[in-house]
């Protein structure tokens, strides 16, 4: 059974009890049908009211900072704050209604102490600028960034009503492959839109994927939180910011080259997307370790555990396993060169013969 930290999303095997990063008690990521609310990473920006119980560190009311008690107030004369959706290490996220239009929004309010930190502000402005460049149905974009007269800094995003992918996997144990593949295709489409803008996500994980119900009634995937996104051709200022940034990503889903601090491109996101695919299909990750260091070393030194060993009770075409192992290659040049090519190969392997080859699937879904 895998365990996950509800605060940062880090995964551990069943011998661990507390997160080595923040000391939070670990919760199970079930490998079979589960009951009760699933864990969540509090840095996930958008969370539906019915998306599962929130796990917050209790804080006495007398100690709550001002930006944690905005419910019922009008922010910057524009947004009526309804309630808090979640919180992370550097922000609180609220559900709000735009007064002028009546439109619901999700608003991330930065901690006042961090808003006075030049590095934190640079990171937030970079997040807003990068995420604002990517416009795609499968990407949650930042609409604007503002600052109140009292100094509160905030960003405004669409409010997405749905369920975080990690919670969905926890609740169900694992998802059927015919449900997973369309979601992976949509995530790949969103990533491709970002990669076309020369932006790499860098922190792709199940906690950063929201599953929403579309007009057709089907579940659809939306990629969130480009807070660690980085332009592939970043200048020295962004290079220094990344080196000293507040968050460096989630080790469980980092590519080997990211763990080594090497230059990244879209193939690093392909690696993370393949890990998400494995966990969603099996309820487990293909690498294990008793600590963050062991997990990182396993990613750098070991081959991933095949899905047939992770879940012997599940039956997948052998071609599916081949596709996943290729996407999880340690050397980026051995992986699929783009997210759509990985998704198309996965779709073609899932239904051999019925969908045609990878090129035909690419043409059908990505044009």
Residue 213 in tokens: 């119900």
Bridge partners of 221, per DSSP, are 211
Q: Which of 20, 17, 366 is nearest to 8 (CA)?
A: 20
Do 5 and 21 meet the contact criterion of CB atoms below 8 Å apart? Answer: yes
CA distance 346 to 362: 11
CA distance 336 to 32: 30
CA distance 186 to 137: 9
Do 257 and 307 meet the contact criterion of CB atoms below 8 Å apart? Answer: no
CA distance 58 to 41: 16
Beta strands in the chain (DSSP E): 2-4, 11-12, 27-29, 74-75, 79-87, 91-98, 104-110, 144-147, 153-158, 162-164, 199-200, 209-213, 219-223, 230-231
- Annotation marks residue 76 as catalytic: no
Q: Of 167, 178, 203, 334, which is the active-site residue?
A: 203
Q: Which of 271, 288, 37 is nearest to 166 (CA)?
A: 37
Query: Scanning the structure block, which residue is given the tokens 């910011």?
Result: 241
Residue 10 in tokens: 């880090």
Burial class from Cβ neighbours inside 10 Å (0-12, 13-18, 19+) for residue 262 reads exposed
Bridge partners of 155, per DSSP, are 108, 145
Give DSSP secondary structure letters for 150-199: T--EEEEEE---EEEHHHHHHHHSS--HHHHHHHHHHHHHHHHHHHHTTE
Active centre residues (catalytic): 203
């Amino acid at each position: 059974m895998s365990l996950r930290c509800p605060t940062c999303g880090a995964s551990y095997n069943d011998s661990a009890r507390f997160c080595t990063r923040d000391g939070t008690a670990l919760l199970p990521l079930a490998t079979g049908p589960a009951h009760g609310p699933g864990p969540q990473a509090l840095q996930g920006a958008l969370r539906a009211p019915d998306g599962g119980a929130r796990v917050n560190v209790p804080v006495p009311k007398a100690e709550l900072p001002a930006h944690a008690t905005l419910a019922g107030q009008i922010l910057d004369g524009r947004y009526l704050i309804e309630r808090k959706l979640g919180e992370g290490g550097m922000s609180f996220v609220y559900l709000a209604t735009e007064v002028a239009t009546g439109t619901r929004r999700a608003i991330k309010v930065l901690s006042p102490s961090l808003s006075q930190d030049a590095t934190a502000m640079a990171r937030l402005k970079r997040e807003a600028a990068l995420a604002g460049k990517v416009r795609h149905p499968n990407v949650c974009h930042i609409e604007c960034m503002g600052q109140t007269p009292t100094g509160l800094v905030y960003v405004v995003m669409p409010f997405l009503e749905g369920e975080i992918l990690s919670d969905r996997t926890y609740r169900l144990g694992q998802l059927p492959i015919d449900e997973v593949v369309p979601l992976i295709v949509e995530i790949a489409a969103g990533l491709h839109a970002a990669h076309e803008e020369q932006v790499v996500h860098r922190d792709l994980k199940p906690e950063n994927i929201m599953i929403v119900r579309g007009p057709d009634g089907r579940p659809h995937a939306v990629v969130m939180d480009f807070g660690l996104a980085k332009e592939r051709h970043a200048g020295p200022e962004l290079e220094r910011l990344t080196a000293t940034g507040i968050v460096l990503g989630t080790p469980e889903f980092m590519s080997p080259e990211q763990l080594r601090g090497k230059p990244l491109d879209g193939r690093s996101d392909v690696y993370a997307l393949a890990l998400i695919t494995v966990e969603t299909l099996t309820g487990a990750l293909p690498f294990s370790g008793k600590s963050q260091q062991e997990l990182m070393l396993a990613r750098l030194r070991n081959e991933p555990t095949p899905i047939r060993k992770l879940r012997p009770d599940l039956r997948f075409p052998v071609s599916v396993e081949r596709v996943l192992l290729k996407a999880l290659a340690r050397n980026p040049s051995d992986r699929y060169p783009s997210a759509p090519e990985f998704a198309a190969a996965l779709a073609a392997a899932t239904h051999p013969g019925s969908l045609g080859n990878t090129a035909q699937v690419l043409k059908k879904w990505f044009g």
